[in-house]
Structure 1
Amino acid sequence: MKLRPLLLAASLAFSALLGPVGGVAHAERDNTPKELKHVGVDEHLDGQIPLDATFRDETGSMVQLNKYFKGERPALFILAYHSCPVLCGMVQNAAATAMKEIPWTVGKEYDLVVISIDPRDTPETASQKKASILAAYGRPGAESGAHYLVGDKTQIDRVASAIGFQYEYDERQGQYGHPAVVMLVKPNGQMARYLYGLEYDPRDLRIGLLEAANGHSISTIEQVILYCYHYDPQDGKYTLMATRVMQLSGFATVLALGSFLGIMWTRERRRKRAEVDARKADSLHHRTPVTEN
Structure 2
Amino acid sequence: MQNVGTIRKRLLTGALSAAAAIVLVAGAMAPAMAQVSGYGDKQAGPANEKSRILDKVGISQHLDQQLPLNTTFTDDAGKQVELGGYFGKKPAILALVYYQCPMLCSEELNGLVSALLMVDEVPGRDFNIVVVSIDPSEGTDLAAAKKRSYVKRYGKPQTADGWHFLTGTQPNIDALTKAVGFGYTKIPGPDGKLTQFAHASAIQLVTPEGKLAQYYMGVEYSPKDLRLGLVESSHGKIGSPVDNILTYCYHYDPGTNKHSLIVARVVQLGGLVTMVSLGGFMFLMFRRDYRLEHEVTEKQDSGNDSGSKVNG
- The within-5 A match list for 1:57-136 is 57-70=75-88, 72-136=89-153
Partner residue of 1:51? 69
Instruction: Tell me, in whole angstroms, the C-alpha distance in 1 between the residues paired with 2:201 and 2:91.
Output: 20
Instruction: Tell me, in whole angstroms, the C-alpha distance in 1 between the residues paired with 2:241 and 2:99.
Output: 31
Instruction: Tell me, in whole angstroms, the C-alpha distance in 1 between the residues paired with 2:128 and 2:62.
Output: 20
8 Å CA contact retained: 1:114, 1:148: yes
Instruction: Tell me, in whole angstroms, the C-alpha distance in 2 between the residues paired with 1:58 and 1:139.
Output: 18
Q: Does 1:233 align with 2:242?
A: yes
TM-score (ref. length: structure 2): 0.60
Partner residue of 2:228? 207
Deviations 1:208-266 (A, max 9, x none): 111111169xxxxxxxxxxxxx8673488xxxxxxxxxxxxxxxxxxxxxxxxxxxxxx
Instruction: Tell me, in whole angstroms, the C-alpha distance in 2 between the residues paired with 1:145 and 1:115.
Output: 14
- The within-5 A match list for 1:150-161 is 150-161=167-178
RMSD: 2.3
Q: 2:203 aligns with which of 165, 182, 185?
A: 182
- The within-5 A match list for 1:6-17 is 7=36
Q: Does 1:147 align with 2:156?
A: no
8 Å CA contact retained: 1:107, 1:141: no
Instruction: Tell me, in whole angstroms, the C-alpha distance in 2 between the residues paired with 1:215 and 1:43.
Output: 17
Partner residue of 1:226? none
Specify the structure having the higher radius of gyration (Cα): 1
8 Å CA contact retained: 2:184, 2:197: yes
Output the amino acid matched with 1:53.
T
**Secondary structure at 1:124's aligned position in 2?**
helix
**Secondary structure at 1:170's aligned position in 2?**
strand
Partner residue of 1:257? none
Instruction: Tell me, in whole angstroms, the C-alpha distance in 2 between the residues paired with 1:206 and 1:44.
Output: 21
Partner residue of 1:32? 50
8 Å CA contact retained: 1:57, 1:147: yes
8 Å CA contact retained: 1:58, 1:127: yes
TM-score (ref. length: structure 1): 0.64
Instruction: Tell me, in whole angstroms, the C-alpha distance in 1 between the residues paired with 2:36 and 2:173.
Output: 25
Deviations 1:145-178 (A, max 9, x none): 1111001111101000011011111113510011
Residues 87/234 of structure 1: CA separation in 2 closer, same or farther (3 Å cut) = closer
Q: What number of residue pairs does the alignment pair up?
A: 198
Structure 1 residue 7: deviation in Å? 4.9
- After TM superposition, where is structure 1 displaced by more than 6 Å over at least 4 residues in a row? none
Structure 1 residue 94: deviation in Å? 0.6
Structure 1 residue 136: deviation in Å? 1.0
